[in-house]
Amino acid sequence: MNFLEYVGSRHQQLLVDAYQHASAVFQCMVAATVIGVLIGVATYRSEWAGNLATTSTSAILTIPSLAMIGLLIPIVGLGVPPTVIALTLYGLLPVVRNAIVGLRGVDPSLVDAATGIGMSRFGRLARVELPLAWPPILTGIRVATQMLMGIAAIAAYASGPGLGNEIFRGIASLGSKNALNQVLAGTLGIIVLALLFDAAYVLVGRLTIPRGTRG
């Protein structure tokens, strides 16, 4: 059976796996974005706090994904929980780093002007600082999403959802007639999802970032 025949015969399962993979990455990126931006907001005014936040989230990336999931299994079990926790943790660094850089890069004169017209600190943050810091934050989200697309495949080790199951099944059955097709289908599926997500982020950027401030 060639690759196209394999995909044709397994398209329903592949679509389910692709949906689960995309859903897991999307939901974990939402969580990582919210947590990461909150950490950035809490630490960007202080040099040492910002460095601590960046260093701490960087340290997470030094843990191999397979080891991270393996460590989480005895604590939260198999399936979705270790997948969600691991992906969210791995997604933090680009968001935290870019949120801090973006917020620190806001022109102080604009913040002073907002203060001068009576805006509260929260008002300045919500209406001036965060909107101006959005372009680098979005870049951080794009980078994190691309990382998580690949890392999510490892979740199959813990019976997690997604296209990693196809890859692991292929690896487990090396030598069989469909082993290569399974690995290839899972890998290409992840690449296609990554490209679709990135295209979506480009569209979001065009819709939310004024033309004159795009990088």
CA 94 – CA 166 distance, rounded (Å): 28
Q: Residue 213: pLDDT band by 50, 70, 90 thresholds? A: low
Domain ranges of the chain: 3-213
- At 29-68, the pLDDT tens digits run 999 999 999 999 999 999 999 999 999 999 999 999 889 9
Which two structure tokens, joined as six digits, stand for 182?
């399974």
Q: Is the pLDDT of residue 210 over 80?
A: no
In three state form, how does the secondary structure of the chain look?
CCHHHHHHHCHHHHHHHHHHHHHHHHHHHHHHHHHHHHHHHHHCCCHHHHHHHHHHHHHHHCCCHHHHHHHHHHHHCCCHHHHHHHHHHHCHHHHHHHHHHHHHCCCHHHHHHHHHCCCCHHHHHHHHHHHHHHHHHHHHHHHHHHHHHHHHHHHHHHCCCCCHHHHHHHHHCCCCCCHHHHHHHHHHHHHHHHHHHHHHHHHHHHHHCCHHHCC
For the segment 86-99, the average pLDDT, to the nearest whole number, is 96
- At 136-166, the pLDDT tens digits run 999 999 999 999 999 999 988 888 889 999 9
What pLDDT score was predicted for residue 89? 96
Of 191, 205, 85, 84, the closest CA to residue 141 belongs to 205
What pLDDT score was predicted for residue 215? 53
CA angle, 66 as apex, 56 and 7 as ends, to 5°?
Answer: 125
What pLDDT score was predicted for residue 173? 86
Q: Which CATH number fits domain 3-213: 1.10.3720.10, 3.50.50.60, 3.30.460.10, 1.25.40.80?
A: 1.10.3720.10
Q: 180: burial class by Cβ within 10 Å (0-12, 13-18, 19+)?
A: middle
CA 58 – CA 49 distance, rounded (Å): 14
Q: Residue 209: pLDDT band by 50, 70, 90 thresholds? A: confident
For the segment 82-101, the average pLDDT, to the nearest whole number, is 96
* pTM score of the predicted model: 0.90
Q: Residue 214: pLDDT band by 50, 70, 90 thresholds? A: low
Of 7, 110, 96, the closest CA to residue 54 belongs to 96
Average pLDDT of the chain is 92
For the segment 116-122, the average pLDDT, to the nearest whole number, is 88
Q: What percent of the chain has pLDDT over 90?
A: 69
